């Protein structure tokens, strides 16, 4: 695959993870191969596929390189790390399989990454897929904000695209559609494979920030997002809660500054205990035990997490990361809304 532009560009590898997502792949890959700037290679990691995805892609999109894992579901972080290891591009575009790309998506990502060597990640903005047919350009997320407890939230949710800046620095990028330099990714040791899935994109962004890189979104690179299809609809809420809480705690311990850690940890514990007590009060014991398991998991892996923290904090290059936190608690806000639905 070659770019239609005569100007030589850095080589680009596009990596997408598929987990029984056959229903998304035709529209997704059609949008990939309709780009004004085509990637030099496209790699699909097929994770425990049983729905014919592999055969479909081999037949209709034969230029796609397929990496397969049939023994067990590795999760998103190990799968992406493996695929990137096999990629040849200088720049890596990482995407979900449940999106549809605007024709200039990759070109705009590339242009913004090229503009500044201190940019670590450029993110597309996402628009909810149902709005595609309706012609509505309403932001689902334009990168993410981080609250004082290390909990992330979408930037500009439900805001018309025309009303947001063309580009803006954010705390982290969601993994729906992003581009980064392969050498920077390798420098920070890639995605944390213990996280399996959920929060791994936040952790990656945070570690890049600590190395002095900026994270931005680019408004004119947009994708239509169908939802968390790769995670799968068969995972129950307690399991998702377990992964989210487990990985959030690990990310918090690894990356937060010593000063903020000391200041916020007691409040974080109080908030978590209050949340668990509420679940018991409402008889939601599965959610209570999900939090308990998340805490126990982190206690078991605490020595490893602290070793990673020591390595990360010793190499931190940016001292003003703490100024980028949002001072209110997104976690508390979401929990209030969540509790109303129980």
Boundaries of domain holding 260: 237-341
> Same domain for 218 and 332?
no
Q: Are residues 218 and 242 in the same domain?
A: no
Q: Establish if 193 belongs to a structural domain.
A: yes
Q: Is residue 4 part of a domain?
A: no
C-alpha distances out from residue 237 to 51, 240, 241, 272, Å: 24, 5, 6, 17
Same domain, 128 and 214: yes
Q: Say yes or no: 157 and 275 in one domain.
A: no
User: Is 209 in the same domain as 132?
Assistant: yes
Of residues 11 and 330, more confidently modeled: 11
Q: What's the pLDDT at 240? A: 87
Statement: residue 102 has pLDDT above 60: yes
155 shares a domain with 45: yes
What's the first-to-final CA gap in the chain, in angstroms?
50
Predicted pLDDT at 229: 41
- When pLDDT is cut at 50, 70 and 90, the band that residue 2 belongs to is low
User: Which has more pLDDT, 234 or 301?
Assistant: 301
- Give a yes or no: residue 274 inside a domain: yes
Least confident of 34-48, 89-103, 217-231, 285-299: 217-231
Do 333 and 203 reside in the same domain of the chain? Answer: no
Q: From the CA atom positions of the chain, what is the Rg in Å?
A: 20
Identify whether 7 is part of a domain: no
The DSSP code sequence of 131-184 is HHHHT--BEEESSEEEBTTS-EEESSTT-BGGGS-SEEEESB--TTEEEEEHHH
Assign residue 158 the CATH number of its domain: 3.90.550.10
Domain count, the chain: 2
pTM equals 0.91
Q: Say whether both 271 and 150 belong to one domain.
A: no
Tokens 């024709």 found at: 103
* Per-residue pLDDT, 183: 96
Residue 171 has pLDDT above 80, yes or no: yes
The 10s digit of each residue's pLDDT in 211-259 is 999 999 999 999 999 875 444 443 448 888 899 899 999 999 999 988 8
Does residue 252 sit in the same domain as residue 103? no
Query: How does strand 214-225 pair with strand 167-170?
Result: antiparallel
Q: Which of 225, 255, 282 is the last residue of a domain?
A: 225
Among 195, 225, 255, the domain-final residue is: 225
The last residue of a domain, from among 182, 198, 225: 225
- % of the chain exceeding 70 in pLDDT: 91
Residues 145 and 270 in one domain: no
Please write the tens of the pLDDT for every residue from 193-206.
Answer: 999 889 999 999 99
Arithmetic mean of pLDDT, 249-276: 89
The pLDDT score that the predictor gives to residue 236 is: 46
Based on the fold, state whether residues 54 and 183 are members of the same structural domain: yes
Q: Are residues 219 and 244 in the same domain?
A: no
CA dihedral 86, 207, 192, 219 (to 10 degrees): -70
Q: Assess if residue 249 is contained within a domain.
A: yes
Average pLDDT over residues 283-307: 95
**Does residue 232 fall inside a structural domain?**
no
b/e sequence 105-115, b meaning 16+ C-beta within 10 Å = bbbbbbbbbee
pLDDT given at position 342: 57
Tell me, what's the pLDDT at 4?
46
> What confidence tens digit (pLDDT) does each residue in 49-81 have?
889 999 999 999 999 999 998 888 889 999 999
pLDDT of 25 > 90? The answer is yes
Residue 31, exposed/middle/buried by CB under 10 A (0-12, 13-18, 19+)?
middle
* 29 vs 287 pLDDT, higher one: 29
User: How open is the CA angle 93-95-97, to the nearest 5 degrees?
Assistant: 145
The predicted pLDDT at position 144 comes to 94
Looking at the predicted structure, is the pLDDT value of residue 162 above 50?
A: yes
**pLDDT tens for each residue of 116-152:** 999 999 999 999 887 777 777 899 999 999 988 888 8
In this prediction, residue 246 carries a pLDDT of: 95
Residue 5 lies in a domain: no
Residue 178 lies inside a defined structural domain of this protein: yes
């Amino acid at each position: 695959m070659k770019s239609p532009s005569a100007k030589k560009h850095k080589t680009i590898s596009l990596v997408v993870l598929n987990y029984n997502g056959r229903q998304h792949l035709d529209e997704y890959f059609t949008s990939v191969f309709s780009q004004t700037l085509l990637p030099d290679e496209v790699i699909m990691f097929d994770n425990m596929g049983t729905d014919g995805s592999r055969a479909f892609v081999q037949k209709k999109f034969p230029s796609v390189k397929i990496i397969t894992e049939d023994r067990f579901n590795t999760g998103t972080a190990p799968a992406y790390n493996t695929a990137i290891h096999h990629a040849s591009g200088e720049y890596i575009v990482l995407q979900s399989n449940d999106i549809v790309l605007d024709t200039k998506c990759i070109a705009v990502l590339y242009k913004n990454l090229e503009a500044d060597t201190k940019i670590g990640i450029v993110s597309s903005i996402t628009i909810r897929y149902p709005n595609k047919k309706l012609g509505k350009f309403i932001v689902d997320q334009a990168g993410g904000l981080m609250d004082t407890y290390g909990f992330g939230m979408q930037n500009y949710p439900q805001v018309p695209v025309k009303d947001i800046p063309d580009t803006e620095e954010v705390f982290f990028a969601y993994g729906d559609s992003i581009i980064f330099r392969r050498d920077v990714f390798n420098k920070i040791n890639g995605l944390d494979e213990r996280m399996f899935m959920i929060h791994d994109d936040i952790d990656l962004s945070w570690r890049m920030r600590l190395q002095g890189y900026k994270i931005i979104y680019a408004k004119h690179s947009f994708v239509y997002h169908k939802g968390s299809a790769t995670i799968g609809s068969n995972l129950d809420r307690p399991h998702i809660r377990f992964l989210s809480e487990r990985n959030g705690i690990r990310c918090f311990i690894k990356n937060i500054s010593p000063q903020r850690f000391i200041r916020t940890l007691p409040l974080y514990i109080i908030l978590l205990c209050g949340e668990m007590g509420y679940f018991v009060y409402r008889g939601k014991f599965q959610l209570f035990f999900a939090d308990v398991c998340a805490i126990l998991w982190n206690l078991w892996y605490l020595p490893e997490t602290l070793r990673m923290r020591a390595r990360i904090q010793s190499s931190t290059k940016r001292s003003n990361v703490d100024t980028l936190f949002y001072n209110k608690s997104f976690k508390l806000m979401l929990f209030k809304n969540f509790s109303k639905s129980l």
